[in-house]
């Protein structure tokens, strides 16, 4: 159940923060939080990460991203249910990715674009604006990589132990 609680928490937090932004700001408006480093802005991103495929026509872009997200969500739930239900770290990682994907899918269905609002920058050099869902996806991917490294280390230790036991 942890898997679904984490995913639901991400979705609710993502949608709540986006609702505040949509109601409080106009598109393009920003509020400096840490001048010269961090602003809250209201940006509608028609593409994926870093505006990827944002220039595709709306008639192609929206159905494409919706389809890709529905397929990804289905695969995540299937994979978790089938293979990872007992692996706590991998479950949390996939739940973060799932919650983030669904959070951004809700935006695409509601607005045809994703609401982004976290803007980090140094002077005029900006990191592309992002949101809670994007953060959850990034953290989830990082945790999946950590889980893979930990699995690799466990396997390496097990192989070393087995080899040492065979020599005795």
Q: Which residues are catalytic?
A: 116, 134
Q: Where are the beta strands (DSSP E) in 27-131?
A: 30-34, 38-45, 114-122, 125-126
Instruction: Check: CB of residue 131 under 8 Å from CB of residue 17.
Output: yes
Residues β-bridged to residue 38: 34, 120
Instruction: Check: CB of residue 30 under 8 Å from CB of residue 101.
Output: no
Q: Which residues contact 135 (CB under 8 A, 6 or more apart)?
A: 100, 118
The Cα 19–Cα 106 span in angstroms is 12
């Amino acid at each position: 159940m942890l898997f679904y609680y984490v995913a639901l928490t991400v979705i609710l937090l993502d949608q709540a923060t986006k609702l505040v932004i949509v109601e409080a700001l106009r598109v393009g408006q920003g509020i400096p939080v840490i001048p010269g480093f961090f602003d809250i802005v209201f940006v509608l991103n028609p593409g994926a990460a870093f505006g990827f495929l944002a220039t595709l026509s709306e008639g192609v872009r929206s159905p494409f991203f919706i389809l890709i997200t529905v397929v990804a969500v289905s695969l995540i739930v299937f994979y978790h249910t089938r293979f990872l239900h007992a692996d706590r770290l991998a479950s949390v990682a996939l739940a973060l990715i799932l919650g983030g994907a669904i959070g951004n899918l809700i935006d695409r269905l509601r607005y045809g674009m994703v609401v982004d609002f976290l803007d980090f920058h140094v002077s005029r050099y900006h990191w592309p604006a992002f949101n809670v869902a994007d953060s959850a996806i990034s953290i989830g991917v990082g945790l999946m990589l950590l889980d893979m490294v930990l699995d690799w280390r466990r396997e390496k230790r097990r192989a070393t132990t087995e080899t040492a036991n065979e020599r005795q």
